Structure 1
């Protein structure tokens, strides 16, 4: 993408040197800080410097947060951001084959670098709008150096906190020559000397230790689509060879037997689960392995996975996770399993969406809670609106009732990205024009005729 294009689409506001959030109901996700019915949060140069009552801060920009709930920014630990312009193209998908038909085997091979930019940009901006301040970008369509650059630049331009996991495409022709040195090139071009920046680098790869070695030479994490029923047999050898560690981030982890969970726990592998994706696409048994992870001492993050079939917000992810866990437990008890899991609660799901998500992204020392010394990734939710007022339980309101339309303010690293319910600095008309042009190109290239009322996605180039 050209520098001129990048500058005119979304000029980011400056980081406010000092912000005082006053009078919010504070859900800190930090046991030492606790929760405050009415408290203040002070931010200096992007860092939380105080959380308490009646704080004073000379010269601060004051945000009146009366009738608002303050939570840490939510973390989506697994999103294929490049697919942003393919939203709901496959709403009734029932299998991984359906998903792949509507992405990898149809449109992915026709993506230009500008399409990658548009996909990542719309995903990142919609995350910010929904209170997701951090996303692990699973970018498995890095067809050339220019495609990889476009993906990173979109994340930088959007002002979101992200882990960009560059990965090889699944289908079609692509520039394989760039791949071997691509991660080192990206690190040198965008990340060298800035380890504390909003966007950091990772590798997306399957259980391929030879590829992992290059990521480890660079000191970056490795993201893997891991399906336990099909891939568990490979874990023991990897563990024996000490090739698993805290730099591994595993998505899905469905149907993994106890021995596999023990290996992941002992190796310190980070895990995220996908309540909607696993059920929607019938991945293995279709059930996200939340309870299995907890049984083995692993606290997973939550992830949206993609938007080709459903919405991209963490509120729905928490709710689906809540109800699936409860219905499975109730079914087991009804079937005579006396040791069925106790029902989960809203606070536990909010932990998964914030502090546990931060840990999955390997960012728990920087974000995930409203803790003094951490980066100021904060979401303010208006509670005086028709769908939320009155608030009798703050945590229940966030998890069970809040929507993206209730989000008043989003702060990422001390930069206000959404205020008064509006994402700042965004030329909506220009963004829509870019999206429309990208969709027209992709649909024409693939020979796809959109149908607003289609019940299924017809496969185009299945290979």
Structure 2
């Protein structure tokens, strides 16, 4: 099947169109619906209205999904989209300094607004091509208002669902009068009169209460690069002052002590983890933090972080997560004799981290992340007849060797 993207737009003066996806293998990510060897999905306008077998849909546009796997579009909970044209320039990086030298301290300083546009457009289209239909864009290279506008407009032009988290640059010169007023300017220019937009606004700021206060005045989520061992001591005072809440989104959360996880859970902070980034760049102990998060009742989303050393493929993110967890568990059991060794994560749970839990991290769990009636029809179909999937004896297992380029239909509404 050739790639295509369907953007379904309702005309308020007409009956909403119906689309029936018939005969797919369904991975719903919804426990009340479950999974189906063969099932149908009915979409009315932009909303999933039924998931089941032998659905009746007179007048619907029927998509024959026999030998296809239907699942929610994947969610990348943390991506620096402006770096799109810097893909794989630094494959041998071993630390954050290597990453920063290849981005913040070199190319980033010379980015023009058009470069922000190109980076965001490449990243967004690459996400769509890889079955990632939603991305939280951590935009920490917005040097002027024009840079910010270009980044936002690229997301609109790509047609992806995105949360644009606008943030100040890390190095070089930029218009410092532009911050933090840029957030309100962007809100009024692009989002105030556009409540149904696929692109929404957030802020990007470190542990800076003054900036957080401005973000909250505007009602915007706050995205923070959070490295647990380095920043854990700051959590207690922030929590005591009531400055942590569900509008916080923390990336990484590596090496965070139990006390810190307890604070994040109590405050309702949303979390994503980075299996490849944390290990590739040796961030703190190099191990992504899913086990600690789950032990404290938090199910984090997965994120790619950046593409300067590896690909945009979320299935690869899941595979790395699976094997890192397995290797660390074996090491703890056989070398350290630990009775509390890490357990292997099942494929179904990894897929939830890339879909449903990513939607929670983005604050979009009521709209996307599962094939649930009432949610938006944000889903992908994967061709199970591809030679590297056939035969598909276990649908979850079939997805793990898969790179889905050239084998999908995306429906983003």
**TM-score bracket for the superposition, by shorter chain length:** over 0.9
CA distance in 2, matches of 1:316, 1:279: 13
Equivalent in the alignment of 2:235: 235
Give yes or no for contact 1:166–1:203 (8 Å, CA) kept in 2. Answer: yes
Deviation at 1:396, TM superposition (A): 1.1
Three-state SS of the structure 1 residue aligned to 2:405 is: helix
Deviation at 1:313, TM superposition (A): 1.3
Equivalent in the alignment of 1:336: 337
Equivalent in the alignment of 2:169: 169
Three-state SS of the structure 2 residue aligned to 1:384 is: coil
Give yes or no for contact 2:6–2:410 (8 Å, CA) kept in 1. Answer: no
Equivalent in the alignment of 1:251: 251
Query: Normalising by the residue count of structure 1, what TM-score does the alignment of the two structures yield?
Result: 0.85
- CA deviations on 1:136-170 (whole Å, 9 max, x unpaired) are 00000011111111111111111100010000000
Give yes or no for contact 2:143–2:174 (8 Å, CA) kept in 1. Answer: yes
Give yes or no for contact 1:354–1:369 (8 Å, CA) kept in 2. Answer: yes
| More displaced 10-residue stretch of structure 1: 187-196 or 301-310 | 187-196
Equivalent in the alignment of 1:375: 376
Deviation at 1:12, TM superposition (A): 8.5
Deviation at 1:14, TM superposition (A): 5.1
Equivalent in the alignment of 1:348: 349
CA distance in 2, matches of 1:262, 1:407: 42
1:15 and 2:16 correspond: no
Unaligned ranges ≥5, structure 2: 11-16
CA distance in 1, matches of 2:295, 2:354: 19
Equivalent in the alignment of 1:434: none
Please tell me the root mean square deviation across aligned C-alpha atoms, in Å: 1.4
Give yes or no for contact 1:78–1:304 (8 Å, CA) kept in 2. Answer: yes
CA distance in 1, matches of 2:143, 2:406: 38
Give yes or no for contact 1:130–1:407 (8 Å, CA) kept in 2. Answer: no
Equivalent in the alignment of 2:128: 128
Give yes or no for contact 1:70–1:380 (8 Å, CA) kept in 2. Answer: yes
Three-state SS of the structure 2 residue aligned to 1:224 is: strand
Deviation at 1:62, TM superposition (A): 1.3
Give yes or no for contact 1:142–1:166 (8 Å, CA) kept in 2. Answer: yes
- CA deviations on 1:102-133 (whole Å, 9 max, x unpaired) are 00000001111111010000000010010000
Equivalent in the alignment of 2:364: 363
Q: How does 1:20-419 map to 2 (within 5 A)?
A: 20-334=20-334, 335-398=336-399, 400-405=400-405, 407-413=407-413
CA distance in 2, matches of 1:405, 1:204: 31
CA distance in 2, matches of 1:215, 1:195: 18
Equivalent in the alignment of 2:13: none
CA distance in 2, matches of 1:339, 1:289: 16
Give yes or no for contact 2:6–2:412 (8 Å, CA) kept in 1. Answer: no
Give yes or no for contact 2:120–2:151 (8 Å, CA) kept in 1. Answer: yes
- Against the structure 1 CA distance between its residues 198 and 265, is the aligned structure 2 distance closer, same or farther, given a 3 Å change threshold? same
Q: How many residues align?
A: 403
Deviation at 1:330, TM superposition (A): 1.1
- CA deviations on 1:145-203 (whole Å, 9 max, x unpaired) are 11111111111111100010000000111111122211111111111133332111000
Give yes or no for contact 2:141–2:169 (8 Å, CA) kept in 1. Answer: yes
Deviation at 1:216, TM superposition (A): 0.4
Three-state SS of the structure 2 residue aligned to 1:203 is: strand
CA distance in 2, matches of 1:407, 1:174: 42
Deviation at 1:406, TM superposition (A): 5.5
Deviation at 1:401, TM superposition (A): 1.7
Give yes or no for contact 2:229–2:254 (8 Å, CA) kept in 1. Answer: yes
Three-state SS of the structure 2 residue aligned to 1:404 is: coil
| More displaced 10-residue stretch of structure 1: 244-253 or 330-339 | 330-339
Three-state SS of the structure 2 residue aligned to 1:50 is: strand
CA distance in 1, matches of 2:176, 2:45: 42
Give yes or no for contact 1:12–1:159 (8 Å, CA) kept in 2. Answer: no
Three-state SS of the structure 2 residue aligned to 1:374 is: coil
Unaligned ranges ≥5, structure 1: 1-10, 414-463
Deviation at 1:63, TM superposition (A): 1.0
CA distance in 1, matches of 2:110, 2:348: 43
Give yes or no for contact 1:26–1:37 (8 Å, CA) kept in 2. Answer: yes
Give yes or no for contact 1:142–1:167 (8 Å, CA) kept in 2. Answer: yes
Query: Normalising by the residue count of structure 2, what TM-score does the alignment of the two structures yield?
Result: 0.95
